[in-house]
Amino acid sequence: MTEGSEQIISIIDYGVSNLGSIRNMLHKLGLRSELVATPEAVAGARKIILPGVGAFDHGVAALAGRRLIAPLRAKALEDRIPILGICLGMQLLGMGSEEGTSGGLGLIKGACVRFRFAEGSPLKVPHMGWNETAPKRLNPLLSGLGAGARFYFTHSYHLMCEDPADVLATATHGIEFTAMVQRDNVAGVQFHPEKSHRFGMTLLRNFGAI
């Protein structure tokens, strides 16, 4: 077991996600976790998961209401601890979203846009269900996850990165879109690893070992 895997993973509890499935998956992997909901608790974190479901502005407001935005940015930019955003949590890493008017955490340069398909297209929004991902480069998060790794998605918006180097993996739903991002110590996944069986377990195990 690496030094990183012995650290407690702090899961941000800001009222916009069902946290039980994430904690259960981490427990199955032998990874210790805790729920944190105050600026003081975030300040003491050594590894963070930022989950989330629902609308962008609601997520931003929930973080702001608990005074968590500044400590999250400090942990990412100053302490440079590993941070993993999941679903809405990944979108909140960016600068903003077409879904609302609030600014995001600004840790990844880019903004979220809605899937748009021609009238009559068989493709549905939200994009929901299993989809394969295609890695764009080597990274410890992708260890054991080659081309064809499948994850469970449910989202209507996707993050468009200004810097292609921040895109860690893509998936396709009518268009190729960003499924994973990573810049330095900050990473995000648009899918739900806690609902993605063995592939999700591998990814969370990799995050625990960073």
Query: Does residue 157 contact residue 100 with C-beta atoms inside 8 Å?
Result: no
The structural domain count of the chain equals 1
> How many percent of the chain have pLDDT more than 90?
92
- 161 catalytic residue (yes or no): no
Nearest to 68 by CA among 104, 18, 94, 17: 104
CB atoms within 10 A of CB 6: 12
- Distances in Å between the Cα of 20 and the Cα atoms of 27, 59, 194 are 10, 18, 10
Q: Is 181 helix (H, G, I), strand (E, B) or coil?
A: strand
What are the start-end ranges of the E strands in 104-202?
A: 110-114, 127-132, 134-135, 150-155, 157-161, 167-173, 175-183, 186-189
Render pLDDT for 33-69 as a digit per residue (tens, 0 to 9).
Answer: 999 999 999 999 999 999 999 999 999 999 999 999 9
pLDDT value of residue 7: 85
Domain limits at 15? 4-209
Cβ–Cβ under 8 Å, residues 61 and 102: yes
Beta strands 127-132 and 134-135 are unpaired
**Could you confirm whether 158 is annotated as catalytic?**
no
192 catalytic? Reply is yes
Of 127, 155, 158, 192, the active-site residue reads 192
Confidence of residue 120 (pLDDT cuts 50, 70, 90): confident
Which CATH number fits the domain that encloses residue 23?
3.40.50.880
> Around 38, how many Cα atoms within 13 Å sit in the side-chain half-sphere?
3
Q: What is the pLDDT of residues 77-107, one digit of tens each?
A: 999 999 999 999 999 999 999 999 999 999 9
- Lookup: tokens for 51: 């989950």
Choosing from 98, 173, 194, 197, the catalytic residue is: 194
| pTM for the model | 0.94
CA separation for the pair 58, 42 (Å, rounded): 20
Report d(CA 149, CA 108) in Å as an integer.
Answer: 24
The single residue of 87, 112, 158, 173 carrying the catalytic annotation is: 87
CA distance 140 to 125: 31
Q: Report yes or no: 49 and 21 within 8 Å, Cβ to Cβ.
A: no
